[in-house]
Structure 1
C-alpha cells in the first residue's frame, strides 16, 4: 500500500497511468473509516485498474468549529483497516496546507436549487465547502470513476450535477447505504453513540421503512404526520426534519406524480449527535 502526503508526489506517480488504458477509481473520505467506506473501496477495486483513497478532514464543509474538532480521527487505525483489506491501494493523506495553501477559503457555487432544502437549509455554506474540496481532489487525482455512498444522497446529487455541469468526464458511482443489524446507517458519527443511543437511533430507519412500506397506501402528508407524531413521543430524539422529495431535483413535495422517483429524508439529534439518513420509496 502506497501512502502519499504531497500533491506533487501523488500526481507524479499517477502520471504513469495517464497514457495507458488504466482506469483510476477514487474514494474520497474524511477518515474514521467503517464498513460503509470499505464497501466503496471494494466497488472501486472491482471496477478500476487502480484505486486511490483520500483521507482528508475538510475544514470548509463544517459550519461549527466544535463539530470539526470533535470529528473522530484515527489515521493509524484507518491505515491498518485498508491495508488488511487490500495492500495495493493508493492513499492520499494531505495536511490542510497541502490542499488549501495559506488560504483556507470556500468557493461559491450554483447548485440549481439542489442545496435549498434538507441539509442546505440547516447547514449554511456546507455544500459550497464540500464541492470546494471535491473540485480540488478531482483536479489532483483525475479519476475515471468516483464512488459515493447514498447515505449522503443530497451531497451525491450535488456532486453528480457539478460533474455534469463542468463536463469533467468522471463517472459518479452510486453506492448503497450500509447498515448495522438494526438498520442504523453506518456513519463515522456513530462512534459517539453508546449502545443505548444506537438502539434509539434505529428509529430513524424504522421511520424510513414506514414511509416506504406505506408510500403506495397513504398520501404524503399522512406519512409525514404519522412519523412526526411518533417522534414526538420519543423524548430521547429531537427530530429536525422528515420529508419526502423527488430524487432528481430534491424538492420536497406533498403530492405524487407518475414517473417520478421519490426519497424520504430524515435528520435528528440523539444526545446532541446529529444523524441523517434516507431511503428510496419507489
Structure 2
C-alpha cells in the first residue's frame, strides 16, 4: 500500500493507472476510520482494480466555532485499517497543498443545499462540493462510494456529478450501526459514557417514526412532535432539526409516503450527530 501526499503525484499515478485500463474505486473520508468506512472500502475493492482512500480533514467545510481543530486524526491507525481492507493507495494531502496561497475557486450547488444541514451550517456544502470535485479531479475515479448517513451530502454530490457531467458512478452505502443502534461516526469518540447512552435517542426516534407510519399515523407534523418530545427528555440533547422530506428533492412533506425519509441532527452536549431512515407506508 502506498501513501501519497502530493496532489500532483496522485493525479499522475491515477492517470497512468487509467491509461493501463485499470478501474479506480475511490472512498473519500476525513479519516479516523470505523466499521462504516471499512464497509465502503470492502465494496470499493469489489468494484475496481485499484482502491484509493483519501484522508483529508477539509477546512473549508467547517464553520466558525466548529470542531476542525479537535476533529480526531490518527493516520498511522487509519493506515493499518486501510491496509487490512485491501486499500492500494492512501491519498493524504495537507491543507496547503489542496488550498495553496491565492486559492479562489469554489463549487456551489444551489437549492438542495439550502435546508437541513445547509441551513444550520452556512458554507458547509460549498466546502464539501469544492473538495469532492478537487478529489475527483486528482484521483480520477470511475466509481466513488459514500455512506448514506450523510444523506444530504450524498444527494448534493449526486447533483453535482450530474450537473457537471462528471463521468463517475456515485454509490451510496447503508448506514453502519453499533449493536445498540447508534449510527457509527468518527465524532462518537467525543461522547462521554452518559452522553453515549443519550445518543441512542436518535435511532430510537427512527424506530418510533417507523412504527407510527406502519399503523397509519402518516401526519408528518405529529410524528415530528412525538419524537421531538422523546429526544428532548435527554438532559444533554439539543435538537438542530428533525424533518421528513422527499428522498430525492429533500422538500419537506406533510404526509408520509413511500418516498419519505426522516432526517435528524441533534447535539448531545457539544457533539453534533446526524441520522436518517426511510419511513415506509404499509401496502
Instruction: Summarize the alignment of residues 81-92 of structure 1 with structure 2, pairs less than 5 Å apart.
Output: 81-86=81-86, 88-92=87-91
Deviation at 1:53, TM superposition (A): 0.4
Indicate the residue corresponding to 2:203 in structure 1: 205
Range 100-109 or range 123-132, more displaced: 100-109
Give the Å deviation of 1:66: 4.7
Contact 1:5/1:95 (<8 A) preserved: yes
TM-score after normalising by structure 2:
0.94
Correspondences of 1:41-190 after superposition (within 5 Å) = 41-86=41-86, 88-103=87-102, 105=104, 107-111=106-110, 113-190=111-188
Rounded to whole Å, the distance in 1 between the matches of 2:17 and 2:75 is 27
**Paired residues, number:** 278
Q: Is the Cα contact below 8 Å between 2:24 and 2:49 reproduced in 1?
A: yes
Could you say what secondary structure the match of 1:172 adopts? strand
Alpha-carbon deviation of 1:106?
6.4
Tell me how far apart the structure 2 counterparts of residues 64 and 133 of structure 1 sit (CA, whole Å): 18
Q: Which residue does 1:37 correspond to in 2?
A: 37
Query: Residue 252 of structure 1 corresponds to which residue in structure 2?
Result: 252
Larger mean CA deviation between 235-244 and 184-193 belongs to 235-244
Q: What do you get for the CA RMSD once the two structures are aligned?
A: 1.5
User: Does the Cα contact within 8 Å between 1:106 and 1:129 map onto a contact in 2?
Assistant: no
Find the aligned partners of 1:270 and 1:105 in 2 and give their Cα distance.
Answer: 36
Structure 1: 5+ residue stretches without partners: none
Bigger CA drift: 152-161 or 95-104? 95-104
1:50/1:273 CA distance change after superposition, 3 Å: same
The answer to whether the 8 A contact 1:153-1:278 is kept is yes
1:7 match: 7
Please tell me whether residue 276 in structure 1 is matched to residue 274 in structure 2.
Answer: yes
CA distance in 1, matches of 2:13, 2:32: 26
Distance apart, 1:8 and its partner CA: 2.0
Deviation at 1:173, TM superposition (A): 0.4
Secondary structure of the structure 2 residue equivalent to 1:71: coil
* CA distance in structure 2 between the aligned counterparts of 1:79 and 1:237, rounded to whole angstroms: 34
Using structure 1 for the length normalisation, give the TM-score: 0.94
SS at match of 1:228: helix
SS at match of 1:241: strand
Q: Which moved more, 1:183-192 or 1:60-69?
A: 60-69
* Residues in 2 aligned to 1:67 and 1:106: alpha-carbon distance in whole angstroms: 24
Post-superposition offset of 1:199: 1.3
CA distance in 1, matches of 2:212, 2:66: 39
Gaps of 5+ in 2: none
